[in-house]
Amino acid sequence: MASSNMELKDRFVEYIHGLQDTICAGLEGVDGVAKFREDRWSRPEGGGGRTRVIADGAVFEKGGVNTSVVHGALPKAMQDAFGVGDSNFFACGLSLVIHPRNPHVPTVHANWRYFELYDSNKMKLDSWFGGGCDLTPYYLVEEDARHFHGVLKGLMQPFGEELYPKYKRQCDEYFTNKHRENEMRGIGGVFYDYLRPKDEAEAERLFSFQQANGNGFLEGYLPIVERRKYTEYSDAEIAWQEIRRGRYVEFNLVHDRGTLFGLKTNGRTESILMSLPPRARWVYDHKPESGSREEAMLKYYRPNDWV
C-alpha cells in the first residue's frame, strides 16, 4: 500500500500502474490467446509512459491499456485553452480502448487521470481529477446495457446518489459526434472532468472515487465479453461494425480531449492513436436497410435510461 506521506500525484501514479497490471491480466484471461506487448517511452520535455497493446487475439482484434506520466512547460495551445500564461503541468493517467473481433462484443473505452498546474515558479495553481468509461456496441442486447450501467451506478452510489445521473448525462453529451446530427458513438457510460479538491480531505475522497471506478472496470465489461464472444456473425455484420468504427474514429480525431491534449503536448503518437480500430469504413450517405437490426441500432445511439 502507498505511504500516506507520499504526495497525492505519486500515489496516483502508483495506483494506475497497479491497475494497468490488473486490467491487462483480466483481458488476457478472457481472450485466452493473445498477450499484451509493452513499450516504455520517454518524452524529451519530461516524463513518459508504458504502452501495452494486444492484437490478433481470439477475442480482441486490437486494444491498448496505457499509462502516462508527463510534465513540463505547458504548450501555448494549452495555455490558451486553460486561460493561463506561462505555466508548468503534471499529468498522469490510465487510458484504454479495446476493439473486439466479434461485432456482437462491444468496444469499450475508459480513462482515469489526475492533473496539476503550476506557475512559472513551480507553485501549484490548480489540480483536478477526470475520467469515465463508455461502451460502444454494434449489436445491442439490452441486458448488457443494463449490466454495464448498473455496475457504474453501483460504483458511484457510495459517493453520492446524484453522481451517476449527473455523470451519465455528461457522458451522453460528450461522446457525441455533433457533426453527425448529435449521434452518440455508443450507449454512453459516465464522464466527469475538472473535479477540483478544495482541501486535503476532499482530495482523499476524490482519489478514492477514482480508485472505485478503476477497480470496477473489469466487473462492468468482462461478463458482457464472456456472454457474447462465441456468437456467430456474418460478413454483413462485420461491414456494419466497420461503419460504426468509422464513427468512433471521427470522434477521437475531431472531439476527444485526451487525443488533442496528447498531440498538442508532444505525447507519443503511436500510444495516442492506439485507440483507433485496425479496420473501419466510410460509406457515402450510408443508411441501414429499413426494418434491419442495423436500423434498429440507431435508436440506441441516443440518450437512453438503462437503470
Q: How far apart are CA 220 and CA 187, in angstroms?
A: 14
Q: Answer yes or no: 109 catalytic.
A: yes
Q: How far apart are CA 42 and CA 22, in angstroms?
A: 23
Q: How far apart are CA 220 and CA 212, in angstroms?
A: 12
- Local structure of residue 239 (DSSP, 8 states): H
User: Sheet containing 37-42: which strands, arranged edge to edge?
Assistant: 37-42, 47-55, 60-73, 88-100, 107-118, 124-136, 188-195
Give the active site residue among 109, 147, 149, 179. Answer: 109
Instruction: Say how many C-beta atoms besides its own lie within 10 A of residue 84's C-beta.
Output: 15
Q: How far apart are CA 203 and CA 200, in angstroms?
A: 5
At how many degrees (to 10) do helices 200-215 and 217-228 cross? Answer: 10
Query: How are beta strands 176-177 and 37-42 bridged, if at all?
Result: unpaired
Supply the residues annotated as catalytic: 109
